[in-house]
Amino acid sequence: MLKLRLAKVLESGPDPLRRALPATREQGIEPAGASERTESSTGEQRMVVELTGGARSGERREAVGDVALVGRAQVGDQVVVNVQALDLGLGSGGFDVVHVNLTRGLTGNGTPGAHVMKLNYTSLQHAVEPVDDRGLEIPLARPAAVLALHGQLAAVAWAFAQAAPGRRLGYVQTGGGALPGGHSGTVAALRERGLLAGHLTAGPAFGGDGEAITTAGALHHGMQALGWDAAVCGPGPGIVGSGSSLGHGGMAALDSAHVALALGCPTLLVARMSCSDRRSRHRSISHHTLTVLDLLLEPVTVALPAGIRSPVGADLRAGLRGVFASAKPAAAAADEVARPARIARHDWKRAEIDLPGFAGSGLATESMGRGPAEDPLFFGAALAGGAALTELLLSDQIDPSTGLDAALGEARAARTTPGADRAAGPDRAARPEPAS
């Protein structure tokens, strides 16, 4: 049963958190209590509410409301708020969420002409006009990077822009984290600075520049209709996690990578790495990334900062000392992975990064409360992903002019070559493993 409570709005209209982007946490917010309140430009309204009725009457709490869904609140409005996340003390729940505004939120008419539902069969279901294209033109032949965390987005986009100025990078927001497109201050900042050419919300996510029913539809539309040169796919802020191998929002990367591969995109997985996370399962290369790399049906590109030979073991420790003098390599690196051949089959690249440049960019340079100085490996791996994405774009791996007919012809030739299928397995299995 939903944990809903009646409340009265004490402060409204402003957005206490979006201005301090350099202090943004991974879930996209600062700690509650920020005093400066400015109008939100992202479709999310911040407010302070006071619970009314019951044993907790009079308790003041931070709250957010999605303006497109529940309208804009004013001081004195009576609202119903969902208090579950804040009561649980979740990392992504430093606030209550407005469920409905009882004073002025009962007169909405929806979007005229829209007929496809998002958040369908919930009390917040609403109709949108999907951007998914009617036709299918593949291969897309433009690269796609897949994120493990929303906190990687700013570094990837910044590094891409440094290496390929003027090229258009779009963002597809998937499930796995926050679903409202207006919740990310990082996206707003990247759009304002021209580092993202567009923001499409796919699947259960909503509220972007355009709404797609599927991640495939969003990628196709971004590249074919909007003219994106490359795309980055990943969850919104505050991913879901349980500590288990498969029960976390990072698994959305597996689906996104398979979609990108199926559409003919050179595909890069941005590795989640850390030398400072207190949880051992996320140090060196996170178990989130390892699981996705293990389960992928086809190899993808993975990037490491130049100077780091391996994502695990002694070579990672040595690389941290050489590349990031301030890192703490002794506690950073796992010595082995469960199935190394499944990890080694991917195309591991090394990319030059500019960590000081990114740290001074004014973008969101904190994740999980840590910045580049505290966790250089996390941001270094994301910057390497952005640089490697540019390499994929500028390479001649796939020529867009070949078109679908040529791609199908090559596939038919491969199927009719005797022993072609049998030959693929040993060749792939024989790929050298990263040094460890």
Within 8 A by CB and 6+ apart from 407, the residues are 138, 139, 264
List, for residues 219-233, the tens digit of each pLDDT value.
999 999 999 999 999
DSSP state, residue 2: -
* Domain regions of the chain by residue span: 4-101, 144-415
Separation between Cα atoms, residue 176 and residue 235, nearest integer Å = 5
Nearest CA among 321, 305, 236, 318 for reference residue 271:
305
Nearest CA among 321, 247, 332 for reference residue 285:
332
Chain-centroid distance, C-alpha 340: 26
Strands 230-235 and 169-174, sheet pairing: parallel
List, for residues 319-368, the tens digit of each pLDDT value.
666 677 655 554 445 556 777 788 889 999 999 999 999 999 989 777 77
The pLDDT of residue 180 is 93
Arithmetic mean of pLDDT, 407-425: 38
Arithmetic mean of pLDDT, 384-412: 63
More confident residue, 167 or 331: 167
More confident residue, 411 or 114: 114
Cβ burial of 11 (10 Å; 0-12, 13-18, 19+) is: middle
**Sheet bearing 267-269, strands edge to edge:** 210-212, 198-202, 169-174, 230-235, 144-146, 267-269, 301-305, 347-351
The region of weakest confidence among 21-25, 115-119, 366-370 is 21-25
Round the average pLDDT of the chain to a whole number and report it.
Answer: 81
More confident residue, 341 or 318: 341
Instruction: Express as a percent the part of the chain with pLDDT over 70.
Output: 76
The arrangement of secondary structure in 4-101, i.e. its CATH architecture, is Beta Barrel (2.40)
The region of weakest confidence among 28-37, 123-132, 175-184, 263-272 is 28-37
Chain-centroid distance, C-alpha 60: 32
pTM: 0.82
Chain-centroid distance, C-alpha 211: 16
Arithmetic mean of pLDDT, 85-93: 78
Strands 273-274 and 284-285, sheet pairing: antiparallel
List, for residues 191-218, the tens digit of each pLDDT value.
999 999 999 999 999 999 999 999 999 9
pLDDT band at 399 (very low <50, low <70, confident <90, very high): very low
- Segment of 38-42, 131-135, 421-425 carrying the highest mean pLDDT: 131-135
Q: Which two tokens stand for residue 196?
A: 């993202």
Chain-centroid distance, C-alpha 399: 28
The region of weakest confidence among 12-16, 19-23, 169-173 is 19-23
Residue 397 predicted with pLDDT over 90 = no
- CA-based R_g, the chain, Å: 23
DSSP state, residue 281: G
Separation between Cα atoms, residue 31 and residue 183, nearest integer Å = 15
The pLDDT of residue 76 is 96
List, for residues 144-164, the tens digit of each pLDDT value.
999 999 999 999 999 999 999
